[in-house]
């Protein structure tokens, strides 16, 4: 079937297009045309002046649709979470598990591997190989130094579904980092108390990014700029950042954007309330989640709300804020055709109104109305 999307503002990742129609045929982006030249057989969808961007990608999120995945890593929970996130405008995400037992990691791996979903890009294991001094909301009893046999067993079981791992570079031998990289896992420095030199060595070993810049890491101090300083100074290392104004002040977001440019991308780090709390009990406050003792845990924003904050609170232009939530994470994940509206690739689109509320999404060519 041929569909024509008309009367919208398209942010392609490279340019802003108005006054044209985007043609989609059998789920593939077919081409651009003038409104008067839309083929007669096309089904026309009037976008009513809405914005259309490449599908938003979230590389760190713990729950959706009212469910925290680690509470019950099951096929039903996976489907519920994915459907809930697609309704918020996110078209692809890494299910993230904070430090937990290896048994829970194995269960989650099996569920994701055996139940593919077009919006599920894989797993992000945030821990357990982190620094207990910077554990944040992570539970201390499962934090450990990595052993090669354990890591190899996880990778073998995953068969490729582990896409990212957050670890503290000062807690890991170089052979562990190389093992992960050799198996196609993106390694992210986080929950780390690394000095500048320790972090810089990690990036030299091949660590590609860092997890939620400023949160649960060594501070940017004038006598040792720590992990944030090493990220800033690296010519290639990326960093994720939580744009809620709580985990990171909007001025820190603005400064980091000026320092890092295209290397900085957005995550939500969002959780849900724990329905069946096991290791983690997240409690919803007015604008955030905390543990029972008040420790800040995950955010309460969607990706579209984070983009709005970038534009309205951090002075980042809308086209660039959209790239931070689509193109830049896609490049880190090495996903050609994602993160941009590119003719010839599958339709992955996020459609939203002037208030940054989701209207519809396309995930691998399949349309979802909100």
Catalytic choice (58, 71, 244, 269):
269
Helix ranges, 39-101 (H)? 75-87
Cα-based angle 30, 6, 49 (whole degrees, multiple of 5) = 135
Helix, coil or strand: residue 134 = helix
Other Cβ atoms less than 10 A from the Cβ of 53: the count is 30
Longest dimension (CA), the chain: 67
User: Helix or strand or coil: residue 20?
Assistant: strand
Q: Residue with structure tokens 């810089």?
A: 200
**Residues 319, 16: Cα–Cα separation, whole Å:** 8
Please give the DSSP secondary-structure letter assigned to residue 154: H
Structural tokens at position 258: 């000026």
What is the per-residue DSSP string for 180-230?
Answer: HHHTTPEEEE-SB---HHHHHHHHHHT--EESSTTTTB----SS--HHHHH
* Secondary structure in 3-state letters for 41-107: CCEEEECCCCEEEECEEEEEECEECCEEHHHCCCHHHHHHHHHHHHHCCEEEEEEEEECCCHHHHHH
Report the candidate in 217, 271, 228 with the shortest Cα–Cα distance to residue 252.
228
Round to whole Å and give the CA distance between 48 and 9: 10
Rounded distance between C-alpha atoms, residue 121 and residue 124, angstroms: 9
Bridge-based pairing of strands 20-25 and 349-352 is unpaired
Q: Compute how many other C-beta atoms are within 10 angstroms of the C-beta atom of residue 336.
A: 10
Residue 225 contacts residue 199 (beta carbons within 8 Å): no
Is 182 one of the annotated active-site residues of the chain?
A: no
Query: 44: which strand partners?
Result: 4
Can you tell me the distance from the alpha carbon of 247 to that of 149, in angstroms, rounded to the nearest whole number?
A: 35
Give the residue numbers marked as catalytic.
269
């Amino acid at each position: 079937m041929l569909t024509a999307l008309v009367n919208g503002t398209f942010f392609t990742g490279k340019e802003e297009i108005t006054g044209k129609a985007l043609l989609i045929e059998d789920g593939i982006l077919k081409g651009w045309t003038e409104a008067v030249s839309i083929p007669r057989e096309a089904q026309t969808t009037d976008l009513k002046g809405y914005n259309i961007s490449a599908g938003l990608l979230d590389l760190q999120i713990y729950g959706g649709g009212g469910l925290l995945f680690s509470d019950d890593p099951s096929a039903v929970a996976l489907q519920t979470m994915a459907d809930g996130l697609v309704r918020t405008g996110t078209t692809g995400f890494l299910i993230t598990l904070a430090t937990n037992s290896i048994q829970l990691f194995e269960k989650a791996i099996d569920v994701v591997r055996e139940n593919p979903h077009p919006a599920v890009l894989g797993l992000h294991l945030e821990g357990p190989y982190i620094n207990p001094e910077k554990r944040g909301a992570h539970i201390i009893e499962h934090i450990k130094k990595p052993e090669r046999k354990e890591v190899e067993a996880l990778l073998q079981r995953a068969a490729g579904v582990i896409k990212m791992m957050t670890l503290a570079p000062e807690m890991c031998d170089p052979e562990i980092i190389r093992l992960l990289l050799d198996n196609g896992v993106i390694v992210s420095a986080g929950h780390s108390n690394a000095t500048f030199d320790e972090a810089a060595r990690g990036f030299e070993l091949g660590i590609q990014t860092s997890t939620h810049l400023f949160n649960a890491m060594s501070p940017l101090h004038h006598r040792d700029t720590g992990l944030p300083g090493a990220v800033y100074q690296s010519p290639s290392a990326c960093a994720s950042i939580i744009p809620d104004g709580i985990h990171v002040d909007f001025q820190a977001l603005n400064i980091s954007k000026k320092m890092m440019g295209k290397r900085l991308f957005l995550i939500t780090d969002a959780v849900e309330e724990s329905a069946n709390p096991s290791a983690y009990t997240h409690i919803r406050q007015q604008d955030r989640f905390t543990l029972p003792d008040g420790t800040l845990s995950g955010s309460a924003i969607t990706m579209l709300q984070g983009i709005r904050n970038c534009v309205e609170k951090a002075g980042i232009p809308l086209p660039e804020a959209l790239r931070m939530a689509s193109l830049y994470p896609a490049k880190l994940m090495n996903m050609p055709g994602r993160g941009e509206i590119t003719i010839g690739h599958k339709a992955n689109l996020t459609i939203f109104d002037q208030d940054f509320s989701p209207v519809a999404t396309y995930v691998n060519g399949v349309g979802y109305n909100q």
